[in-house]
């Protein structure tokens, strides 16, 4: 283990001013003790810790964690009363008390600004249910300051981390290898304050529906190649393409767009969220965007002439701009000649309508049956039948004799 390497990435995480409140799984060889010692030594945020461990039979690890955290709020009568109610409640009433308790604890524990709650012990966040994770994550939204709930990956859950948890890889041997995220829904967007609430609604909708997603603010870590991630977005099986006026003038966003079209099947893979008020959805609007990129290309070409020795970086940008210009007509047909729905309605209620459109593509079932197949009275089919299933739908097999191979 390169301890200095991993500690440096922990420092980058804690010092990142754009890191939002959330649940984070740290894939690191650092021990819980080393993590605790370094955070306290760094002194950049308030620190507290609570153990997550296996309960006795019939108990709940999450409830024990909540109770333990509540005892760190000494002197708070409201939290003490809620904790006492928790001991005598059950069913839906218990859920309400736990959620109320979490909200009050976050307010109490995080009065001194940015806070990290270190979940340590024999278990990690991946062992909690989606419902419990959702309560914990939502409780963080009731406080204006950033609250980071983080645990070291103990390797208990081998596959399928809940999308409410963001995994951050610190291990040197894994760090420079982009994780295969092509089975997640990727979000292509331009950072824009006026549309931040809409982006949050999309993310909330994905998390509420337990849909795994990838977004640069979580998945591009220190040392990662931005170009590679942009190409990863373009190759993804499902993409939410959030197009606003500033999207058209971002070379990063527009390069992602070229990669989407390069990989084809855009109508099957891309869910469009479009708000381009102020830009005409006709040939004039297209010409305006083309003129912008032609101007950018000319300006960069002139810089190549003016700067002695040229510039590999500017050459790379010019190549990207050429791809953008070549793809603009296809993009314009895609977002202007196909209906993209009512933007405001699509983002209401945690982007409920948008997520419904996305789910139609995620859970599509395709069955390919050989045309020569002839049903018989036997229970064994005369030919091999292949069924491709995407999503979490069930398949019913009636009276099968022979092998069923599941990959």
> What is the pLDDT, as a whole number, of residue 135?
92
Is domain 3-176 annotated with CATH 3.40.50? yes
Give, in order, the Cα–Cα distances in Å from 272 to each of 47, 61, 120, 121.
41, 41, 41, 43
**Hey, what are 41's tokens?**
């030594």
Q: What pLDDT was estimated at residue 292?
A: 96
d(CA 337, CA 184): 28
Both tokens of 389, joined, read 């299933």
Question: pTM of the full predicted structure?
Answer: 0.53
312 Cβ contact partners less than 8 Å away, ≥ 6 residues apart: none
Q: Are 393 and 363 in contact (CB under 8 A)?
A: yes
| Residue 368: per-residue pLDDT | 46
> Do 263 and 209 form a contact (C-beta atoms < 8 A)?
no
> Quick check: helix, strand or coil at residue 49?
strand
Residue ranges for the chain with pLDDT beneath 50: 173-180, 365-371, 373, 375, 379-383
Q: What's the confidence (pLDDT) of residue 67?
A: 93
Residue 9 structure tokens: 């990435």
Query: Per-domain residue ranges for the chain?
Result: 3-176, 204-360
């Amino acid at each position: 283990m390169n301890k200095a390497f991993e500690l440096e990435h922990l420092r980058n995480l804690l010092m990142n001013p754009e890191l939002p409140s959330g649940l984070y799984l740290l894939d690191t060889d650092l021990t819980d003790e080393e993590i605790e010692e370094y955070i306290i030594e760094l002194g950049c945020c308030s620190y507290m810790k609570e153990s997550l461990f296996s309960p006795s039979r019939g108990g709940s690890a999450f409830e024990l964690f909540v109770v333990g955290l509540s005892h760190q709020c000494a002197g708070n009568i409201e939290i003490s009363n809620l904790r006492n109610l928790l001991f005598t409640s059950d069913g839906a009433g218990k859920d309400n008390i736990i959620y109320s308790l979490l909200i009050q604890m976050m307010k109490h524990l995080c009065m001194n600004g940015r806070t990290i709650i270190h979940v340590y012990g024999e278990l990690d966040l991946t062992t909690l249910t989606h419902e419990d994770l959702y309560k914990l994550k939502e409780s963080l939204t009731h406080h204006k300051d950033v609250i980071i709930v983080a645990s070291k990956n103990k390797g208990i859950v081998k596959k399928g981390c809940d999308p409410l948890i963001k995994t951050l890889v610190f291990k040197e041997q894994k760090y420079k290898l982009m994780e295969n995220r092509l089975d997640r829904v990727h979000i292509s967007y331009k950072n824009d304050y006026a549309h931040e609430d809409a982006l949050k609604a999309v993310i909330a909708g994905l998390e509420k529906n337990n849909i795994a997603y990838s977004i640069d603010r979580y998945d591009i870590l220190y040392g990662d190649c931005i170009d590679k991630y942009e190409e990863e977005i373009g190759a993804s099986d499902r993409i939410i393409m959030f197009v606003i006026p500033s999207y058209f003038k971002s070379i990063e966003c527009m390069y992602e767009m070229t990669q989407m079209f390069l990989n084809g099947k855009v109508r099957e893979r891309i869910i469009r969220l479009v708000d381009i008020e102020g830009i005409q959805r006709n040939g004039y609007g297209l010409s305006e965007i083309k003129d912008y990129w032609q101007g950018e290309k000319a300006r960069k070409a002139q810089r190549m002439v003016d700067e002695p020795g040229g510039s590999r970086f500017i050459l790379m940008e010019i190549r990207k701009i050429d791809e953008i210009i070549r793809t603009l007509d296809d993009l314009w047909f895609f977002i202007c000649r196909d209906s993209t729905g009512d933007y405001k309605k699509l983002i209401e209620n945690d982007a409920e309508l948008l997520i419904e459109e996305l789910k139609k593509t995620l859970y599509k079932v395709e069955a390919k049956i050989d045309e020569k197949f002839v049903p018989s009275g036997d229970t064994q089919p005369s030919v091999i039948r292949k069924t491709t299933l995407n999503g979490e739908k069930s398949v019913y097999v009636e009276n099968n004799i022979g092998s069923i191979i599941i990959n």
